[in-house]
Amino acid sequence: MGNDIAIDLGTARFKVYQDGRGIVLNEPAIIAVDNMTDEIIAIGSEAYRMLGRTSDRVTVAHPLCNGVISDLSLAEHLIAFYLRQVGRSRVFMPRVVVSVPCGVTEVEKRAVVDAIGAAGVRKVCLIEEPVAAAIGAGVDIAAPHGCMIVDVGEGTTDMAVISLNGIAIANSTHIAGADFNDAIIKYVRRKFSLIIGDRMAEAAKTAIGCAYPRRRLTTYMLKGLDALNGLPTATVMTSDDMIEALIEPAIAIVRTVQSTLELTPPELLADIFTDGIILTGGSANLYGLSTLLSKKTKIPVIVAESPGECVALGAGRAIKYIDKLERGEHGRINPLMSYG
């Protein structure tokens, strides 16, 4: 069993894969800070429980946004905290594969490498997120065959057509899981005059969310504040309400996929038509998103197994390429990018 690990710095969730063990950590990428003293009060699940329940004194922040660091110091704390949890002490100094979205700038890459390096890591290699997602979904990315991956996460929907270990076409939109929650909050306010928080919206989305009609109508009890009199109240939301709430962001994602397909070279497009589009990312769990995408594009859509963990899993499976990279074997045969 190796010491090497792979990390997916998601907007919502921090995931760690350990060589020989698989996914060993999948926790909220969130941190609570005391505004007066700048002291860190809580990290991860504990900080998530504070979301929407804080006073003016406490801010709950996401220090990472789709693999890009928005607050370096907080990101370093988060990374160090989770690496300690998986037992990575400075003594071992593992080598790390970390996923980054395609199209990140050199400065953004450097920030990721530095933040992980600060935790005492010996070597950091980067892998582009859609490539990692494809490996994690079980695709043979080295084949001269086109494969389309659409990763719907929390902050971003990333998509790419991959062939011969490389990305032929990549595209992304900032519409993803967080927008589903926002859409639910707005819809509930409009239809029921009910004010709910992000955590309630997330819970309802996970329970009865859908982007295509469910076979059976399901319901969820929403608790919040009556917008008219400010009193606590509860309302039942149905899965049909969910479709009305979520169709707009869901269609926006579909449109981005369609415009990516329009740019895809015909040979690769033919492969995608035969094999289907692969959906990864936690929001691929949204009921009916795959059906909606399939109906609109007229291409089969397959939701990967454990879609939320595909990027971390693929980055983990790419650990074996680190040795090749250290021997100087770059390029087409190696999905990893060396750094520093």
Ligand X SMILES: Nc1ncnc2c1ncn2[C@@H]1O[C@H](COP(=O)(O)OP(=O)(O)OP(=O)(O)O)[C@@H](O)[C@H]1O
User: How far from chain centre, in Å, is Cα 86?
Assistant: 20
Query: 76 touches which of Mg ion, ligand X, none (CB within 5 to 8 A by kind)?
Result: none
| Contact code string over 130-169 relative to ligand X, x by CB under 6 A | -----------------------xxxx-------------
The binding site for Mg ion (CB under 5 A) comprises 10, 153
Sign of torsion, CA 232 237 242 244? negative
Complex with ligand X: residue 224 or 282, whichever CB lies closer: 282
* Selected range binding ligand X among 176-184, 233-241, 264-272, 293-301, rule: CB under 6 A: 176-184
Binding mask 219-258 for ligand X (x = CB under 6 A): ----------------------------------------
CA-CA-CA-CA torsion sign (110, 77, 157, 251): negative
Maximum separation of any 2 CA atoms in the chain, in Å: 68
| Site for ligand X contains 202 (CB under 6 A) | yes
Q: Which two tokens stand for residue 71?
A: 């607050």
Alpha helices in 137-238 (DSSP H): 177-192, 198-208
Q: Tokens representing 254?
A: 């579909």
Per-residue binder mask for ligand X (CB under 6 A), 269-298, x = binder: ------------xxx-xx------------
**Residue nearer to ligand X on the CB measure, 89 or 206:** 206
Question: Which stretch in 38-46, 160-168, 205-213, 255-263 sits in contact with ligand X by CB under 6 A?
Answer: 205-213
Q: Which is nearer to Mg ion, 10 or 44 (CB)?
A: 10
Residue from 219, 218, 213 nearest 287 by CA: 213
Query: Is the CB of residue 272 less than 8 Å from the CB of residue 161?
Result: yes
How far, in Å, CA of 69 to CA of 312, rounded? 17
Cβ–Cβ < 8 Å for 95, 122: yes
Q: Are 173 and 186 in contact (CB under 8 A)?
A: no
Residue selected from 35, 206, 259, 274 as contacting ligand X according to rule CB under 6 A: 206
Q: Shortest distance, CB of residue 310 to ligand X, whole angstroms?
A: 8
Of 123 and 205, nearer to ligand X (C-beta) is: 205
Closest approach of Cβ 296 to ligand X, in Å?
Answer: 19
For ligand X, the binding residue among 95, 145, 205, 317 (CB under 6 A) is 205
Q: Can you tell me the distance from the alpha carbon of 202 to that of 178, in angstroms, rounded to the nearest whole number?
A: 9
Q: Which two tokens stand for residue 273?
A: 């038509």
Q: What sign has the CA pseudo-torsion 323, 328, 334, 339?
A: positive
Size of the site for ligand X (CB under 6 A): 22
Choose from ligand X, Mg ion, none: what does 136 bind? Cβ within 5-8 Å by kind.
Answer: none
User: Which residues of the shown chain bind ligand X in the complex (CB under 6 A)?
Assistant: 10-13, 66, 153-156, 176-178, 202, 205-206, 209, 281-283, 285-286, 308
